[in-house]
């Protein structure tokens, strides 16, 4: 796991994260810094060129309270429609599966069916309900995801899950498209006398003018 | 497209968490821009495990909720700024702060209008302290304000005050942008549109030839 995760974060450098001042300190890692979270990133054969990781997974050991904000673009991609439905039907989630390479947008009913098949396959592997699996996609608009390659990669992706910093870093690399750097950060603070951690990862470099709700 | 995944081990109810996340998204990802194109796929998913052992936060009006909100804002702003910093073809991050508006939402709208302006972005790439373009972009944001109260600074250089253009050291102003471009740093634009309590910030990047090159080759 460490060798694969280590390799993933070698592909592109990490962005400098400009955090605002406040009652927190930055700590290593990203989405895996908070207790209960694991992550992984790997090359699943989805990208058109090169072998940079293109498949990421973030999981929580327990039912996590879930929230989401999604594009108000009316030509919303299949994973956006799927996640809005999932969040409306369940207050919690356990996993986020993310692919780069194809956006699964403007792909019609077939694209939506692809999302369902991917979430069902992962839910079965993790012994979860479908609506506990959320999905994000990014890449070329109009192209359906390379579903066979994605489905065939899931068992290995699950086996790579790790609560380490490397796990978070490899997931942050795997979600990138034209990004020149990966984006990942975590902070630690105290709320009500108890230490908490907040971490995250993001991607984005072009087609950027978010309007999310 | 931007994607985000945020995680925390704080303990919070579903309703409070969903409101907190939307507030943070409005103060971060919804305040960045690279090219004015809103993607079909933009999404942020935020998960709270509750495994830190904190008391469950069930109201927004508590100091614990306020503190968690600030932590969430910080992480999302850090990630959002890194997206603008890494804008296609960008040589620097542009941070636009607006004060003096009626409220936070109006200030945020003016800030994002300036950060989105192709002419302002191109001027920054040309290291041109073009206060006129900044004033123009503030003016078309759709937020009414008295133009005679408009104040614009570029870094430490005051370019306009009380709606009047000022004499300024254009070489120093240009060098300020050139240095930011050489170090992939930040160009700060400070704007005041009046005496109101509202302030907001938006982030973008300069517009270079490479943006066109990258996107002329990347095809659907």
- Over residues B175-207, the pLDDT tens digits come to 999 999 999 999 999 999 999 999 999 999 999
Average pLDDT over residues B79-99: 98
pLDDT band at A5 (very low <50, low <70, confident <90, very high): very low
Name the average pLDDT for chain B.
97
- CA–CA separation, A135 vs B14, rounded Å? 19
In angstroms, the CA B119 to CA A10 distance is 36
The residue whose two tokens read 């460490």 is: A2
Contact A201 B49 (CB under 8 A): no
| Phi and psi at residue B203, to the nearest 5° | -130, 140
pLDDT given for residue A3 in this prediction: 52
- Tell me the mean pLDDT in the region B72-100: 98
Radius of gyration of chain B (CA): 19
Q: pLDDT tier at A48 (50, 70, 90 boundaries)?
A: confident
Given an 8 Å threshold on Cβ–Cβ distance, is A186 in contact with B17?
no
- Cβ separation of B46 and A66 shorter than 8 Å? yes
Chain B residues in contact with A20 by the CB 8 A cut-off are 73-74, 77-78
Measured in whole angstroms, how far is the alpha carbon of residue A36 from the centre of its chain?
Answer: 16
Alpha-carbon dihedral sign for residues B2, B23, B77, A202: negative
The Cα A145–Cα A121 span in angstroms is 15
Give pLDDT tens digits for A63-75. Answer: 999 999 999 999 9
Q: Which of A34, A186, A207 sits opposite B35 (nearest CB)?
A: A207
Query: Does the distance separating the beta carbons of B33 and A196 come in below 8 Å?
Result: no
H/E element, B74: helix B63-85
The mean pLDDT of A26-37, rounded to a whole number, is 97
Taking the C-alpha atoms of residue B168 and residue B176, their distance in angstroms, rounded to an integer, is 13
Residue range A148-192, pLDDT digits in tens: 999 999 999 999 999 999 999 999 999 999 999 999 999 999 999
The pLDDT of residue A101 is above 80? yes
Residues A4, A167: contact at Cβ < 8 Å? no
Q: What is the pLDDT of residues B118-168, one digit of tens each?
A: 999 999 999 999 999 999 999 999 999 999 999 999 999 999 999 999 999
Asked if the C-beta of A106 comes within 8 angstroms of chain B's C-beta atoms, the answer is: yes
Q: Say what the pLDDT of residue A49 is.
A: 83
Tell me which of A40, A96, A207 to substitute to probe the interface with B (most B C-beta atoms closer than 10 Å).
A207
Report the alpha-carbon distance of residue A114 to residue A146 in Å, rounded: 9
DSSP summary character for residue B126: T
Identify the pLDDT of residue B146: 98
Q: Residue A138 belongs to what H/E stretch?
A: strand A133-140
Which pLDDT score, from 0 to 100, does residue A10 have?
67
Query: Cβ distance A43 to A51 under 8 Å?
Result: yes
Cα(A207)–Cα(B28) distance, integer angstroms: 16
d(CA B192, CA B198): 10
B1 catalytic? Reply is: yes
Sign of CA dihedral A33, A198, B33, A100: positive
Q: Grade residue A1 by pLDDT with cuts at 50, 70 and 90.
A: very low
Which pLDDT does position A64 carry in this prediction?
A: 98
DSSP-based helix, strand, coil % in chain A, nearest 5: 30, 30, 40
pLDDT tens, residue by residue, A125-136: 999 999 999 999
Place of tokens 């699996």: A133
What pLDDT is attached to residue A102?
A: 96
- Going by pLDDT thresholds of 50, 70 and 90, the confidence category of residue A7 is low
Angle ∠(A76,A158,A119) on CA atoms, nearest 5: 30
SS (H, E, C) A25-92: EEECCCCCCCCCEEEEEECCCCCCCCCCCCEEEEEEEEEEEEEEEEECCCCCCHHHHHHHHHHHHCCE
The predicted pLDDT at position B30 comes to 98
Which chain A residues have a beta carbon less than 8 Å from that of B73?
20
> Residue B219: which pLDDT band, with cuts at 50, 70 and 90?
low
- Is the pLDDT assigned to residue A6 strictly greater than 60? no
Q: Which of these is catalytic: B1, B38, B219, B220?
A: B1
């Amino acid at each position: 796991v460490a060798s694969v995760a280590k390799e993933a974060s070698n592909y592109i450098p990490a962005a400098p994260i400009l955090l605002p001042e406040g009652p927190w300190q930055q700590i290593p890692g990203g989405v895996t810094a908070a207790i209960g979270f694991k992550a992984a990133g790997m090359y699943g054969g989805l990208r058109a060129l090169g072998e940079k990781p293109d498949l990421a997974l973030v999981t929580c050991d327990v039912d996590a309270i879930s929230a989401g904000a999604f594009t108000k673009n009316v030509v919303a991609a299949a994973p956006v429609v799927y996640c809005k439905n999932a969040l409306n039907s369940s207050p919690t989630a356990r996993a986020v599966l993310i692919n780069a390479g194809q956006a699964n947008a403007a792909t019609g009913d077939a694209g939506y069916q692809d999302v369902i098949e991917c979430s069902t396959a992962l839910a079965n592997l993790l012994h979860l309900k479908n609506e506990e699996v959320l999905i994000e996609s990014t890449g070329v608009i109009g192209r359906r995801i390379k579903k066979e390659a994605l489905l065939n990669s899931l068992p290995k992706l699950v086996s790579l899950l790790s609560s380490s910093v490397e796990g978070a870093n490899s997931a942050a690399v795997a979600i990138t498209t034209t990004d020149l750097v990966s984006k990942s950060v975590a902070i630690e603070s105290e709320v009500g006398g108890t230490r908490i951690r907040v971490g995250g990862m993001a991607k984005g470099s072009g087609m950027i003018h978010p309007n999310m709700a | 497209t931007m994607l985000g995944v945020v995680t925390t081990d704080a303990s919070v109810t579903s309703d409070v968490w969903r409101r907190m996340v939307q507030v943070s998204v409005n103060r971060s990802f919804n305040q960045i821009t690279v090219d004015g194109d809103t993607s079909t796929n933009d999404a942020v998913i935020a998960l709270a495990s509750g495994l830190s052992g904190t008391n469950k936060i069930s109201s927004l009006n508590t100091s614990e909720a306020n503190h968690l909100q600030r932590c969430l804002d910080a992480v999302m702003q850090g990630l959002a700024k890194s997206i603008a910093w890494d804008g296609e073809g960008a040589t620097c991050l542009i941070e636009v702060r607006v004060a003096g508006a009626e409220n936070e939402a109006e200030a945020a709208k003016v800030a994002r209008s300036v950060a989105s302006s192709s002419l302002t972005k191109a001027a920054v790439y040309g290291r041109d302290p073009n206060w006129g373009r900044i004033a123009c972009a503030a003016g078309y944001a759709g937020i009414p304000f008295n133009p005679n109260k408009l104040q614009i600074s570029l870094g430490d250089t005051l370019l306009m005050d009380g709606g009047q253009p000022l004499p300024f050291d254009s070489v120093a102003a240009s060098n300020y942008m050139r240095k930011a471009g050489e170090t992939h740093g930040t160009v700060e634009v400070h704007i005041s549109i009046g005496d109101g309590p509202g302030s907001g910030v938006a982030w973008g990047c300069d517009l270079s030839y490479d943006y066109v090159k990258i996107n002329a080759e990347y095809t659907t």
